[in-house]
Amino acid sequence: MPLAELTITRGALDDRAIDTLAGEITEIFLDHQGARAGSPVAHSIACVEVNEVEPRRVYIGGRPATKPRYRVVFTVPVGALDEARKASLARQTTATVLAAEGTPFSEDEAHRVWCVIKEVPDGNWASAGKIFRWRDIVRWVARGEIAARREAARIFGTARPAAEPALADRAAAERWAALAPTGAANVNH
């Protein structure tokens, strides 16, 4: 259940650029959490909220900012991202935000983009009135992916995936299970 909050200086990007940027941040964020590219199941629980701040209300060193500022806050369950994925997420997000603005990447320009990664302790993420642990979210997405493939095969009469069905299902489950921290509680919903 990835959640990203994008705060931008109002007027820095037009609506189309904001829409595109929100989509790109979604893809980057899901990729770093190990979701399959284009996964409708993972996309169904990915949220990006955009907040715009008036230019006269952004201050740097106590003075009004002279250039737009951006802050992307990623909220994830503990264990969803290791240190390497966090670093990569920040790098790719920063480059993507600057590209949306039409600004070439440089260290000076990159300092206008702040990425904050908030980790929610296991057992403190809830949706639909239930507590979801990281392992629960991983399993829910994996099961949804498997069910979607089976339903598509049933409806369209398409051939099974290249791998044997049981092996493909197991491989998907193992890929997602590998992302969950060991020792995480198993809560079935």
Residue 1, pLDDT score: 66
Q: CA-CA distance, 140 to 188, in Å (whole number)?
A: 9
Residue 189, pLDDT score: 34
Query: Which amino acid belongs to residue 45?
Result: I
Do the Cβ atoms of 90 and 30 come closer than 8 Å?
A: no
Q: Which spans in the chain are helix H?
A: 15-32, 40-43, 83-101, 107-110, 134-156, 165-177
Contacts of 117 (CB under 8 A, 6+ apart): 73, 74, 76, 81, 86, 89, 90
Contacts of 92 (CB under 8 A, 6+ apart): 28, 32
Domain limits, the chain: 3-120, 134-177
Residue 185, pLDDT score: 37
Residue 168, pLDDT score: 41
Residue 137, pLDDT score: 80
Q: CA-CA distance, 43 to 170, in Å (whole number)?
A: 21
CATH for the stretch 3-120: 3.30.429.10
5: number of Cβ within 10 Å: 16
pLDDT tens for the chain, residues 1 to 189: 689 999 999 999 999 999 999 999 999 999 998 888 888 888 888 999 999 999 999 999 999 999 999 999 999 988 889 999 999 999 999 999 999 999 999 999 999 999 999 999 988 988 889 888 878 887 877 777 777 777 767 777 764 444 433 444 444 445 444 444 443 333 333
Q: CA-CA distance, 7 to 121, in Å (whole number)?
A: 24
Residue 37, pLDDT score: 80
